[in-house]
Structure 1
């Protein structure tokens, strides 16, 4: 019960912060940015769009396809209300920089994981909301963060687990942030949410029911709690504890009346 109450308080506080941020942009007619938001926070934001002032907004996390993103509320009222396509100029204006974290001696360094880098950065006093995605590449990592804190992390972070490291601050566009996929194909009775999740992660539809009811499934960063929700090509589905996939295409129908589907699983 106590955990539920705390979660409700956190959500109410988050909603208040989003509303105040949007109002600030609207009244001052300037761009105002949120911290980095996780997928649950993005879903809450989408659910409150009707409560917000009529102004445009965009999302960006330092690279295309980033999971943690910052929202920019555009105070320019000449822009069309709702999401806008990010132009290169607007991407560069986001207060986001990238930290390249690499060992001083690659020969003796160990390969580390996402949790190692995140823990080390949090230990120097940085809040999670000030950090975006962390991409691990071999023995080094790229962490997207609030531009105001990049120099502090650079001078404060000297060790990640057993590795002595250096930190270099670079512009997000200097990083070749690419996402790899594994294709999965198969046939399903319909393009229902539970059917395609079962296909993507090679599990049964009955085991998916609890995940959806447990609010662990998001479609295009919106929380979905209906098993029968119908997916369409280009939808992106995130399942906490399992991963993320994109609906690539809907194929023909088999002799038994089943629909062929192709999914791209994020690696």
Structure 2
């Protein structure tokens, strides 16, 4: 995957600087949180350059991740604490809310209004009782002190553990059962997200769809069990199971749509 514009090239230049710094200081360097496009671009670039790296976003299924680069050669790092770079925060809504439940956009907007850059914020998991988030540890205390309301609703903030965050993540999805004509990417997107077929195709062609973190630009790609499909601006789905063909020769599938 090549740089598409000046912004991509500046990003790759920054990666190169971090890689060189890792060698100069003989220690690990890292990026801020990357979006799916940046991650796909970075992996392609670093793999070609032969740079050793590790991604980490706070939990296994993280969509937004940091990228840690290691010095070249025989570098030992078994006890490196990736978790030291992040903080897990829970925003709790009141028992009785004013208006509709806040959306992902509402929570993110409240954070951006504090002057926080998006690259310092990892995944946000929204549910009916509130939102759980991952952020850079350097801004966690600031967020805890500054966020007092989301829209017209007063909220309370607490720090939570990684295990609590993972438990919440495992509960934050809708299980969908249905049938598709084939396991083509556009068919799975349509069923799993509720998007129209044309909208699904448009998102793929716009470079906004990723399978397991890699940009998926072909509508005809076949989706496999446990593939995680992320759609920028829409959400994330996972193909959980493929069943037997129906009498009409359609394929039964089960999909988890993460909220």
Q: TM-score, normalising length from structure 1?
A: 0.77
Pairing partner for 1:159 from 125, 146, 149: 149
The equivalent of 2:63 in structure 1 is 67
Structure 2 counterparts to residues 168-247 of structure 1, below 5 A? 168-175=158-165, 176-179=167-170, 180-189=173-182, 191-201=183-193, 205=197, 208-247=200-239
Pairing partner for 1:10 from 2, 7, 12: 7
CA distance in 2, matches of 1:258, 1:156: 52
Pairing partner for 2:31 from 27, 31, 34: 34
Pairing partner for 1:97 from 80, 87, 93: 87
Deviation at 1:38, TM superposition (A): 1.4
Q: Over residues 217-258 of structure 1, what are the superposed CA-to-partner deviations in whole Å (9 max), with x where a residue is unaligned?
A: 211111121222233222212234544322234444567765
Pairing partner for 1:144 from 117, 129, 134: 134
Q: Quick check: 2:176–2:192 contact (8 Å CA) kept in 1?
A: no
The equivalent of 2:103 in structure 1 is 113
Return 5+ residue gaps in structure 1 as ranges.
1-6
3-state SS of the aligned residue for 1:36? coil
Distance verdict in 2 for CA 1:264–1:123, change over 3 Å: closer
CA distance in 2, matches of 1:13, 1:65: 28
Deviation at 1:9, TM superposition (A): 1.9
Distance verdict in 2 for CA 1:265–1:184, change over 3 Å: farther
3-state SS of the aligned residue for 1:35? coil
Q: CA RMSD in A?
A: 3.2
Aligned length: 251
3-state SS of the aligned residue for 1:218? strand
Q: TM-score, normalising length from structure 2?
A: 0.79
The equivalent of 2:41 in structure 1 is 44
